[in-house]
Chain A
C-alpha cells in the first residue's frame, strides 16, 4: 500500500484514459483499509483511485510498478477482485497515503461489478506497455522498476511460483472444458448435417410427410437451436411448445392489456412476462413465434406489426381504428399535439402514441408538421373542410 502517491487525478499529456469503474475498494494485502469506496481509473500510464465521497483524496501509482495481476472470483457476500502484485516502492517516491507497508500486493474489490472488463483492459495495458513509448512528465517517471523477469524482490518469488501453479491448474480446467466442448460441437455439427438432409427430403416430397412428422422435426430443430433449413427461421410456428406458450400468454396478458388500454408493445410484453417468470425465461424469438400463432389459435389477443416495424400485442376487442377517432378528438381539442404531449394526455407510452398518430395520419384524419421543433400533428382540415 506504500506504492501509491498522492495525485491531482488530472491526466498528463500523452496519457489517455482507458477505462474507469465506480464502487471499488482497496485492500492492503488482505486487510481492509479506509479507502472503501472510490472510482478506479486505468490510464495508459497509471492506476488511479479517487475517493467517491471526497474527490480531493486521489492517489495513483505507475503501471510499471506492477509485477503481475490475477483475478479472484466473486463468492457469497464477496465481490470479485483483482489482486495486483507490486515491485517495491522506489526510494525517491513522492508522498502517498502510506509510508510503509508489509504487503507487496493490494486487492481491488469491485463492489459494483465491472471487474471482468477492467481486468481485460489492465491485462492489455500491461502487455502493450504503452507507457514506455509515450513518456510523460518527470513526476510520473518516479520508478521504472526493475525490469520484470530479471530482478525480483525477495518474498515475491515464492508467491509468484504458487500463483503460477494455480494459474496452470485453472488453465488446465479451462482447456479441459474446451476439449470437451469441441467434442460436443462435433456431435452437434453432425446433427446439423442430418437435419439439412431431412429437410431436403421433406421439401422434395411435400405432402407425403405427415404433419405430425413435420412438427416432430421442427421440435428437434428447436431443441438444438438449428434454423429451419427450409424457411431459414429458427423454429417457432408449428411446434407444440409455441402453441402451449401462446395459450399461456393469452392468459397472462389479458389483465395487463386491459389496464393499458388494450395494447402493449412487444418489448413491454417481453419484460413483463420474463420478470414474472423469474427463471426459464423466454427468448425474444420464443415470444415472437408464440405471438404469431395467437390469431390462428383463435385466442383473444393478436400480434400486429406497424409500418414502422414496431410490433404490438392487442386485445382482439381492441380496435385501433376506433381509437384513432378518439385521438382525432383529442388533437382537435388541443389544436395540435406532438407524440410526447399526446402520450402524456392519454397515459400511453410515447412509442404507441406515435404509432396511433401515424395511423390517424395514414387514415387521413391528421396532418403532420415536421420541423426541427419536432413532429406535430394537426386535424386534417383538407378532409373536413371541403
Chain B
C-alpha cells in the first residue's frame, strides 16, 4: 500500500493557507472567474439552441453570414479566431471559412507563375467556385474576403488592394506601397499603363513613374510590351480576365478595323 502524501485534510489545509495569503482583490477576481465560467456554460447552451434552430440560415444565406460577422465585430468577438471557439464548434462557421482559406491558397499558388501573385477578386471567385465542385456550398465574394483576412495571420503577404471599382488579391510578400497601388488603379481601365499615362494622370516625374513600373516588372506583376505603338506598355496579367469579361462594344469593333 502506498503512503499517500496528500489527503483531503492536507488539501483543505493548503487551501486555507492560500486563501489567507490572498488579497481581497484577488478573491474578487476569482469570484468573477467562477461567474464567467457559469455564464460561459449558459451561453454555450444558448448557442446550441440557436444552432439547432438556425444553423441552416448561416449555410444557406450569405446575407445572414455578413450580418452575423458584423454583429460579432461590433461587440468585440471574433467567431473565426479559433476552430476551438464555440461559434466554430456549434455553428460550423469555422470549417466553412478555414477550408475556403485552403482553396484560396491553392488557386493563388497555381496561378502565381502567370500573374506574379496578384489576382482580381472576381477571377479568384470564379476559380474557387470551379475548384469546389458541384456539390459544395456556394460562396460569395464577401466570404472570400473574410477568409483572406484570416489568412494574413500566416505571415505570407496576403493582402487586399482596392483598385478602382474592383479588388486585387495579393498572395506573395511583394512590397507594394502607395505609389504602386495608385499605378495599379490607373492600369485597371485598360489592363496596362505607360509612363505617359502616369505623368498625365498623376503628375509625377518620369523617374518616379519608371521606378514604380520597374518594381512591378521585377516582382513579376507586370509584363513589358515593347512592340506597342509609340511607347512601352506595362501590362498587368492580374487584370486580363477582368478585361476580357468586358466585351468590346460595336463602336470599338468598328474602330479597330482598318
CB within 8 Å of B: which residues of A? 9-13, 15-17, 20, 22, 73-74, 77, 79-80, 110-117, 120, 173-174, 176-178, 180-182, 184-185, 187-192, 194-195, 197-198, 201-202, 204-205, 208-209, 213, 216-217, 220, 222-227, 234-236, 241, 265-267, 270-271, 274-275, 279-288, 305, 308-311, 351, 370-372, 374-375
Min CB–CB distance B26 → chain A (angstroms)? 4
Q: B150: nearest residue on chain A (CB-CB)?
A: A284
Pick out which of these stretches binds chain A: B5-13, B39-47, B178-186, B196-204.
B39-47
B77 touches A224 (CB 8 A): yes
Q: Given that A188-B77, A286-B83 are contacting pairs, would A281 and B99 also be in contact in the complex, using a CB cutoff of 8 Å?
A: yes
A181 touches B54 (CB 8 A): yes
User: Which of B22, B43, B81, B253 is A208 in contact with, Cβ under 8 Å?
Assistant: B22
B25 touches A204 (CB 8 A): yes
- Which residues of A sit under 8 angstroms from B60, Cβ to Cβ? 73
- Which residues of B sit under 8 angstroms from A284, Cβ to Cβ? 98, 101, 150-154
A113 touches B132 (CB 8 A): yes
- Which residues of B sit under 8 angstroms from A267, Cβ to Cβ? 105, 151, 154, 156
Min CB–CB distance B132 → chain A (angstroms)? 7
Min CB–CB distance A221 → chain B (angstroms)? 9
B155 touches A208 (CB 8 A): no
Within 8 A of A (CB), among B188-242: 214, 217-218, 220, 224
Q: What are 16 pairs between A and B in contact, CB < 8 Å? A: A10-B253, A113-B132, A116-B139, A181-B71, A187-B42, A198-B29, A220-B33, A220-B40, A224-B85, A241-B84, A267-B105, A280-B83, A281-B99, A287-B153, A309-B155, A351-B173
- Does residue B177 face the partner (Cβ distance < 8 Å to A)? no
B86 touches A223 (CB 8 A): yes
- Does residue B162 face the partner (Cβ distance < 8 Å to A)? no
Within 8 A of A (CB), among B82-115: 82-88, 94-95, 98-99, 101-102, 105-106
A270 touches B105 (CB 8 A): yes
B88 touches A283 (CB 8 A): yes
Q: B57: nearest residue on chain A (CB-CB)?
A: A177
B134 touches A222 (CB 8 A): no
A181 touches B50 (CB 8 A): yes
- Which residues of A sit under 8 angstroms from B42, Cβ to Cβ? 187
Inter-chain CA distance A372–B75, complex, in Å, is: 48
A223 touches B40 (CB 8 A): yes
- Which residues of B sit under 8 angstroms from A285, Cβ to Cβ? 81-82, 150, 153
Min CB–CB distance A283 → chain B (angstroms)? 5
B150 touches A209 (CB 8 A): no
Q: A275: nearest residue on chain B (CB-CB)?
A: B102
Q: B151: nearest residue on chain A (CB-CB)?
A: A284
User: Which of A116, A177, A310 is B173 in contact with, Cβ under 8 Å?
Assistant: A310
Inter-chain CA distance A354–B47, complex, in Å, is: 47
- Which residues of B sit under 8 angstroms from A205, Cβ to Cβ? 23, 25-26, 29
Question: Nearest 5 CB-CB pairs, A to B?
Answer: A311-B155, A281-B98, A201-B29, A284-B153, A234-B81
User: Which of B84, B134, B152 is A223 in contact with, Cβ under 8 Å?
Assistant: B84
CB within 8 Å of A: which residues of B? 22-23, 25-26, 28-30, 32-33, 35-37, 39-40, 42-44, 46-47, 50, 53-54, 57, 60-62, 64, 67-68, 71-72, 74-88, 94-95, 98-99, 101-102, 105-106, 125-126, 129-130, 132, 134-136, 138-141, 150-157, 172-173, 214, 217-218, 220, 224, 245-251, 253
Inter-chain CA distance A311–B104, complex, in Å, is: 18
B81 touches A283 (CB 8 A): yes
B136 touches A113 (CB 8 A): yes
B247 touches A9 (CB 8 A): yes
Inter-chain CA distance A23–B94, complex, in Å, is: 28
Inter-chain CA distance A197–B28, complex, in Å, is: 11
Q: Given that A73-B60, A173-B57, A270-B105 are contacting pairs, would A12 and B249 also be in contact in the complex, using a CB cutoff of 8 Å?
A: yes
B77 touches A201 (CB 8 A): no
B50 touches A194 (CB 8 A): no
Q: A43: nearest residue on chain B (CB-CB)?
A: B247
- Which residues of B sit under 8 angstroms from A116, Cβ to Cβ? 62, 138-140
Inter-chain CA distance A67–B114, complex, in Å, is: 43
Inter-chain CA distance A367–B43, complex, in Å, is: 59
- Which residues of A sit under 8 angstroms from B99, Cβ to Cβ? 274, 281
Q: Given that A116-B62, A180-B54 are contacting pairs, would A17 and B83 also be in contact in the complex, using a CB cutoff of 8 Å?
A: no
Other A-B contacts than A209-B26, A270-B105, A283-B80, 8 sampled, CB-CB below 8 A, are: A181-B50, A198-B36, A220-B33, A222-B81, A225-B79, A287-B154, A288-B154, A372-B218
B35 touches A194 (CB 8 A): yes
Q: Given that A112-B130, A213-B33, A216-B33 are contacting pairs, would A80 and B82 also be in contact in the complex, using a CB cutoff of 8 Å?
A: no
- Which residues of A sit under 8 angstroms from B224, Cβ to Cβ? 372
B71 touches A283 (CB 8 A): no
- Which residues of B sit under 8 angstroms from A236, Cβ to Cβ? 82
- Which residues of B sit under 8 angstroms from A266, Cβ to Cβ? 154-156
Min CB–CB distance A139 → chain B (angstroms)? 11
Inter-chain CA distance A281–B150, complex, in Å, is: 13
Inter-chain CA distance A234–B50, complex, in Å, is: 24
Min CB–CB distance B145 → chain A (angstroms)? 13
B138 touches A274 (CB 8 A): no
Q: Given that A13-B249, A113-B132 are contacting pairs, would A195 and B36 also be in contact in the complex, using a CB cutoff of 8 Å?
A: yes
